[in-house]
Amino acid sequence: MNRVILGGPYAGFANTCVQDDARPVFLLPELLRDEALNRLLMQVYGPELMPEKLPVLVSQWFKFYAMQLIPPVVVASLVKGMSWPLALNDLAFALHERGFLDGVRFESEAFQASDSKDPFERFAPLLNNLQQVIERLSAYGGVASAVLWSSAGDYLERCLRQLAQIDGLAAEVGHGLLNKRFRPDGARNPLFKTITYEEGTDGKLIRRRRSCCLSYRVEWVGRCEHCPSANSA
C-alpha cells in the first residue's frame, strides 16, 4: 500500500512510513476509542500518571501522531505533488511495544494532488485530519486544542526547516500554514505562529512554542527545550 515516493535527499522524510513489512498496524479510528486510549496511555505511562495526569499524557501522545504523519505528507506534496487519502479510515499506525505510535501506513495508493500555491487549499486534507484528531483527543483528555495544534505546528516547522536546507523554494509554500493569521474563508488559523524565534541575551535565536505542551507537569519529563514559559535569557 505504501509505495515509496520519496527518495534521494528526501528519503528521510519518509522514515516514519510503514512499508509492507508484516508489522501489525491498527486503523486510526480504533486507536482513538476511549478504551484503546486508556489502555495505550496506561501502557506508556503507568498507573502513577494515568489517569491523574491525563491532559499531559494526551499532549505527549499526540506528539507521536504529528511526528509520524506530517513529514511524509508535507514533503510528498511540496516536492512530488503527491498525497494520500487522509480520512481517519485511510490511516493505520504501528505501535511501539510501549504503546506509543511508531509508524504510519497509508491504506490507499498515493495520487497526484493539488499544486496550489495557497497552502490551505493544498493541505486541506491534512488540516481536516488534524482537526478531527485534535478535537477527539481534546475531548477525551481535557486538554486545550491550542496545546495540540502547537505540537502540530512544532513538527511542521521542523519539517519545513529541514526541507528548506534541501529545497528552499518547495518549503516556502508550506510556511504559509504558519505565517498566515487567517484562512481564506476568514476562519482563524490554529497553526499561526505556533513556533517563533526570539533573540536571547547572548544574541542567539531561541525557538519557542506558542502554547506549552504541559510536559512540565510531570517531574521526570520536565520542560521541553522550547517551552514558552522558560527563561529566555
Classify residue 203 by its DSSP letter.
S
Rounded CA-CA distance 149/224 in Å is 16
Query: Does the pLDDT of residue 8 top 90, yes or no?
Result: yes
The fold of 8-194 is Transferase(Phosphotransferase); domain 1 (1.10.510)
Q: What does pTM read for this prediction? A: 0.92
pLDDT number for residue 90: 97
Q: Residue 113 pLDDT > 50, yes or no?
A: yes
For residue 201, pLDDT beyond 90: no
Computed over every residue of the chain, the mean pLDDT equals 90
What span, in angstroms and rounded, lies between the C-alpha atoms of 205 and 200? 6
228 pLDDT exceeds 80?
no
Burial 128-156 (b: 16+ CB within 10 A, else e): ebbebbbebbbebbebbeebbbbbbbbbb
C-alpha cell at 125: 486534507
Q: How far is CA 231 from CA 156, 176, 211, 223, in A?
A: 24, 29, 15, 11
Helical H segments across the chain, by residue range: 28-31, 34-45, 54-75, 119-122, 124-141, 145-164, 168-179
Cell numbers describing residue 162: 529541514
Q: What is the pLDDT of residue 233?
A: 33
pLDDT at 5: 82
What are the structural domain ranges in the chain?
8-194
- The pLDDT tens digits of the residues spanning 21-74 come to 667 899 999 999 999 999 999 999 999 999 999 999 999 999 999 999 999 999
The pLDDT-based confidence of 83 (bands split at 50, 70, 90) is: very high
